Amino acid sequence: MSDVPYQLQDSLGYLVHRVSLAMAGRLNRDFAAAGYDVTVEQWKVLVRLWDAEGATHAELSARIGKNKASITRLVDGLERRGLVKRVAGRRDRRCKRVLLTEAGRSLREGLMALVHAALAEAQAGIPAERMDLCKDVLRRVLGNISESLPREDA
C-alpha cells in the first residue's frame, strides 16, 4: 500500500484546500484593490448581519460555521474598523448582539459586486449542473465528517 506513491494532488483534501485558499486570496486582493479594508472572513460575518442585524455571537457561529473564538476575533476586527458595534443584551447580559454601523451597512453593494464577479470567474465554463453536482458532493462530504466532530456549541 505504501509502495505505490500516494498522489497528493489527486486527493480531495488537497484540492479543496487549494481551491479554498485560492478563492479567499483572490477575494482578499480584490477587496483591498478596490479600497475596502475588509477581509473575506469579515465579509462573511457582514453577509449575515446585512440579513439579520443584531445577531448574537452564538447565532453567527452556527450560521457561518466557525467556533466562538473565531467569531470573537472577527467581530473584534469589524469593530476596530468601525463597521460594527457590540451591545450586551438586556434580558441576558451574557449575549452580545452585533449591530451594524452606517459604514458597515454601506459596504454591501460594493463588496457583493466584487464577490459575484469573482465567483463568476471561478465558475466560468463549468455547466450549472456539473457545478451543482459538485456542491452536492461537497455537502455530503461535510456531513460525513461532521458526524465525527468534537461536540461544540453551534
- Options 54-62, 73-81, 88-96, 128-136: segment touching its own copies (CB under 8 A): 128-136
Q: Which does 130 bind (CB under 5 to 8 A by kind): its own copies, DNA, none?
A: its own copies
> Considering beta carbons, is residue 91 or 120 the nearer one to its own copies?
120
- List Cα–Cα distances, 29 to 37, 44, 46, 123, in angstroms: 10, 16, 18, 18
In the complex, the residues that contact DNA under the rule CB under 7 A are 17, 21, 25, 29, 39-42, 56-58, 61, 66-77, 86, 91-97, 150, 152-153
Contacts of 115 (CB under 8 A, 6+ apart): 27, 43
Listed residue (80, 99, 100) closest to 37, CA to CA: 80
As a whole number of Å, the CA-based R_g of the chain is 18
All three cell numbers of 71: 467569531
Pairwise CA distance, residues 53 & 57, whole Å:
12
Q: Which does 87 bind (CB under 5 to 8 A by kind): its own copies, DNA, none?
A: none
Among 28, 36, 58, 64, indicate the residue that binds its own copies (CB under 8 A).
64
Applying CB under 8 A, the residues found at the interface with its own copies are 1-2, 5-6, 8-24, 26-27, 29, 40, 44, 47-48, 51, 63-65, 108-109, 112, 115-116, 119, 121-126, 130-131, 133-142, 144-146, 148-150
